[in-house]
């Protein structure tokens, strides 16, 4: 731990790591890539980035990071998952491949490639409850939250278009996830919200 600045790791075996590191630093965290369990030991919180959840599961298993991560999450470590990261943090998934496992942490059912495989990527405003103004979100073969337990707070839904009302950001205690990629916009409000959450947990 760094005085004042929470140490936030970014799962770095696969996915868009650099963008998250930069956003986390901008949001006031000390950000560091995590590839092995010794690196996980020194972080206060983790970001699981976008990428490919099936590959993340395989690599995390090979690099012996899957089980340590699962245990830290089960012990209450704060985490932010974006896109594939949302899939990794879901307790249950729809549309996974045979044998695909998740880390868990969020009492949700997440559907992979929910917006349709042909819809590779799109942009849309989302109504992000804690923010004053909508968040302009970028979706890339994104999942959505199909179902959630009573302990899960819906943070954001799609504002308009055919997917209007779909749940695209959630939080349960200190674990949150977005369907979209907040790290590749110029808007750091999601990362600030998360770093403030980590700070509030550390201070308690």
Q: Which of 72, 112, 148, 166 binds ligand GLN (CB under 6 A)?
A: 112
Return the structure tokens found at 136.
């302009």
Return the structure tokens found at 188.
């750091």
The reply to whether 136 sits near ligand GLN by the rule CB under 6 A is no
Do residues 179 and 168 lie in contact, with contact meaning Cβ atoms separated by under 8 Å? yes
The reply to whether 178 sits near ligand GLN by the rule CB under 6 A is no
Residue 204 CA to residue 198 CA, distance in Å, equals: 10
The reply to whether 87 sits near ligand GLN by the rule CB under 6 A is yes
Q: Which stretch binds ligand GLN (CB under 6 A): 72-80, 82-90, 165-173, 195-203?
A: 82-90
- In the complex, minimum distance from the CB of residue 165 to ligand GLN, in angstroms, rounded to a whole number: 21
Q: φ, ψ for residue 37 (rounded to 5)?
A: -70, -30
The reply to whether 81 sits near ligand GLN by the rule CB under 6 A is no
- Residue 177's CB is within 10 A of a number of other CB atoms, namely 29
Binding region for ligand GLN (CB under 6 A): 50-53, 83-84, 87, 112-113, 140-141
């Amino acid at each position: 731990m760094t005085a004042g600045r929470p140490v936030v790791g970014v799962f770095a075996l696969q996915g868009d790591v650099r963008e998250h590191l930069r956003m986390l630093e901008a949001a006031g965290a000390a950000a560091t890539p995590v590839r092995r369990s010794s690196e996980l030991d020194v972080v206060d919180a983790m970001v699981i980035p976008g990428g490919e959840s099936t590959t993340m599961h395989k690599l995390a298993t090979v690099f012996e990071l899957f089980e340590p991560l699962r245990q830290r999450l089960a012990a209450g470590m704060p985490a932010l998952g974006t896109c594939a990261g949302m899939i990794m943090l879901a307790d249950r998934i729809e549309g996974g491949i045979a044998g695909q496992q998740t880390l868990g942490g969020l009492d949700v059912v997440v559907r992979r490639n929910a917006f349709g495989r042909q819809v590779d990527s799109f942009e849309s405003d989302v109504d992000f409850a804690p923010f004053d103004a909508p968040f302009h979100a970028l979706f890339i073969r994104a999942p959505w939250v199909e179902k959630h337990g009573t302990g899960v707070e819906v943070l954001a839904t799609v504002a308009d278009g055919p997917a209007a009302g779909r749940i695209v950001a959630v939080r349960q205690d200190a674990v949150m996830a977005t369907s979209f990629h907040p790290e590749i916009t110029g808007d750091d409000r999601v990362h600030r919200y998360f770093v403030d959450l980590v700070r509030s947990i550390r201070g308690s």
